[in-house]
């Protein structure tokens, strides 16, 4: 699955930094790049502007996933 090491992440063999670009965030969330742009524009997905570029904090994306997880009914 994925393993954390200091300031790096490993997800399906992809080693990167704490801040992901749009394509990496799309892969991480299993969404299309256009969807990531739309959700960030609507402020549905947490993002950071670095100059003109959008970056996505892995820890913020993990919190986003946890907050939007639908619990099962037993």
Query: Per DSSP, which regions of the chain are E strands?
Result: 2-5, 8-11, 14-16, 19-20, 48-50, 53-57
Binned at pLDDT 50, 70 and 90, residue 16 comes out as low
Task: Report d(CA 3, CA 11) in Å as an integer.
Answer: 7
Fold for the domain defined by 2-67: Arc Repressor Mutant, subunit A (1.10.10)
Domain boundaries, the chain: 2-67
What pLDDT is recorded for position 74?
81
The per-residue pLDDT for 47 is: 96
List pLDDT tens digits, range 28-43.
Answer: 999 999 999 999 999 9
59's tokens: 């820890």
Asked if 45 contacts 39 with a C-beta cutoff of 8 angstroms, the reply is yes
Q: pLDDT-derived band of residue 3, with 50, 70 and 90 as boundaries?
A: very low
């Amino acid at each position: 699955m994925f393993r954390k090491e200091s300031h790096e992440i490993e997800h399906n063999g992809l080693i990167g930094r704490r801040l992901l670009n749009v394509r990496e965030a799309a892969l991480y969330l299993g969404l299309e790049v256009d969807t990531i742009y739309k959700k960030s524009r609507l402020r549905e997905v947490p993002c950071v502007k670095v100059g003109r570029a959008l970056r996505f904090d892995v820890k913020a994306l993990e919190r986003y996933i946890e907050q939007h997880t639908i619990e099962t009914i037993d």
